[in-house]
Amino acid sequence: MVKSMTGFGRASKETEDFKVTIELKAVNHRYLETVFRLPRQFHHLEASLKKVITQKVKRGRLECFFSFEGAKVAEKHLAVDWELLDHYVRFLRQAKERYAIQEEVDLEALLADPAFLTVSESSEADPELPALITSVLENAVARLDDMRAEEGTELALYFKEHLVKLERLLESVKEAIPETENAYREKLEDRLAKLVGADFDEKLVLSELALLLEKADINEEIERFASHLKQFYSILTQEGAIGRKLDFLIQEMNREVNTMGSKAMSLSITQCVVEMKTTLEKIREQVQNVE
């Protein structure tokens, strides 16, 4: 089954004390890479959350955004360095008397300085949250997977359409082989006629022709290419990550087509080879999106 590596999934769940929203964004990547945008007090959950993702996602770069609401999500603590603040205020008052400064000490401005006042969050989350986060993530991953499967269905149709075109082109190459053999024979006879006249040895022609046809024989390449086409269809029906298999198969198909092109002397075969290479490139571009 074909699945795209790109997609988006969002899920949200609300309880009496919390609301958790998770958004997942997946793009192409050679391997599976997960990036969690989690508050510090939830970092210890990353390993278990990754297991939830790997049940459905095998390849791609996945960014996971988490949003938390509720008074119990994290307790905030206010800390004031009173000793430092006392020293600072005494200094300001002494400076005021020494230099006859009329302005009063602005306590609000002092407390805005992080040297005197800091606000911190508790590093421990409410014990109810991990189970809620996992549940929401499972829903988000399921929606992401649905979108990836829908895009994968479109990709599969695209591949099959182009595979049919390759099959037609391969048939055209097969049909052109006898034409190529006749063209070789005519060229060889014309050359010999120019060199030795019309009275040349027919056995020599047949011998030379056999050597030329052996060098230009593309039947093996045709058979291998046809086999690769069957493999491609078969892989499209397999479960799991198939993108790398398809990418490797495209490389093999390109190799066979290039060999056909280098051996063939027929214009019609050359034209077919050019179209086959163009079609394979279109398939290869889309294979990069397959998980």
pLDDT at 59: 95
Q: Decide the pairing of beta strands 19-27 and 7-14.
A: antiparallel
Q: Which residues of the chain have pLDDT under 50?
A: none
Quote the pTM value.
0.73
pLDDT at 92: 80
By CB atoms closer than 10 A (0-12, 13-18, 19+), residue 190 is: exposed
3-state secondary structure of 110: helix
For the stretch 88-109, pLDDT in tens is 888 888 877 777 777 776 777 7
Sheet holding 32-37, edge to edge: 7-14, 19-27, 60-69, 32-37
pLDDT at 210: 54
Closest CA to 252 of 275, 283, 274: 283
Our measurement of the distance from residue 78's CA atom to the centroid of its chain's CA atoms, rounded to an integer in Å, reads 45
Helix 129-196 / helix 46-54 crossing angle, nearest 10 deg: 50
pLDDT at 53: 97
The four Cα atoms 97, 101, 107, 113 give a dihedral, to 10 degrees, of -100
Q: Whole-angstrom Cα distance, residue 243 to residue 255?
A: 19
pLDDT at 212: 62
